[in-house]
Amino acid sequence: MAELPEISKLAGQMRDTLCGKTIEAITIVQEKCSNIPPDEFQKRVASARIKDVRNKGKWIITSLDNGENILLSLGMGADILYFDSENNQADKYQVKVVFTDGSGYTSRFWWFGKFLLAADDELETEPNTKDIAMDPFDERFTLDYFVSLLKGKRTQIKAFLMDQKNIGGIGNMYMHDILFKARLHPRKKISDMNGDEIRLLYNSITDILNLSREKGTFAYESDFFGQKGGYTMDYFLVGYKEKQPCPVCGEKIVSIKTGSTTSFICPACQKA
Ligand SMILES: [Zn+2]
């Protein structure tokens, strides 16, 4: 599943490739992935130019020069693929955007993908994106900021980090190794964490996400040009490595239930 490294890479590629292009047509095959009917969507974006593309947590926001914004969520997985001409477009898609120069992109969602439209003055109240917090790739995401986020909180650390209202962009996939590297049990209460543990966790979040970014992001996700990333399963420390030895102490890695998610941990390095 795409998380912050994959989404920010995709948003960057879309920004570099699409800014300045003018929308000619939008085809929405699967109406339920949008918040307005396809013909209204088409009317509101036709002839508008792409002004900016950026990510907010795991959402990609494309701003147009007519005051409209396309909000894209990959849901449980999706291929968002550029084409230089419609001859080279992907066969299957739920949404297709075509520009006046003949290029465009298709969105194929595996599950729960969203393709929404919101005017500039609706963005602040848009229910899907309004509460998404700053993500760890933001330069304002400093240790001091992280410490202030955790201050006075009593919840379990994994649930806190997964909540997009606290930190944008982190999902279950990178979480296993983030907590392992910080030697924290997923159910550890924030109120029981000391300053060293918080600093270690901050470094772990930025280290793991940055390493994926440096390696070209997760190997099973396609980028805007259909290329896979270089962050293969070999880079995972304990995530999805049940029964394999812990890379630090050799103890067998186990999977445990943590609320609605599964967590892979080393029971020796991450004491409850
Ligand atoms: Zn261990």
The string over 78-99, giving b where at least 16 C-beta atoms fall within 10 Å of a residue's C-beta and e elsewhere, is bbbbbbeeeeebbeebbbbbbb
Sign of CA dihedral 260, 265, 267, 272: negative
> What is the CATH topology of the domain spanning 143-265?
Helicase, Ruva Protein; domain 3 (1.10.8)
| CA 104 to centroid of ligand 1, rounded, Å | 48
Domain with CATH 1.10.8.50 in the chain: 143-265
pLDDT at 272: 84
Domain with CATH 3.20.190.10 in the chain: 4-123
| CA 180 to centroid of ligand 1, rounded, Å | 8
pLDDT at 1: 81
Per residue in 209-249, pLDDT (tens digit) is: 999 999 999 999 999 999 999 999 999 999 999 999 999 99
Per residue in 125-148, pLDDT (tens digit) is: 999 999 999 999 999 999 999 999
The model's pTM is 0.95
Give the 3-state DSSP-derived string for 11-75, with helices as H, strands as E and coil as C.
HHHHHHHHCCCEEEEEEECCHHHCCCCHHHHHHHHCCCEEEEEEEECCEEEEEECCCEEEEEECC
Per residue in 243-262, pLDDT (tens digit) is: 999 999 999 999 999 989 99
Residue 183 contacts residue 270 (beta carbons within 8 Å):
yes
| CA 177 to centroid of ligand 1, rounded, Å | 12
Average pLDDT of the chain? 96
Beta bridge partners of 104: 83, 98
| CA 55 to centroid of ligand 1, rounded, Å | 35
Q: Which CATH superfamily is domain 4-123 in?
A: MutM-like, N-terminal (3.20.190.10)
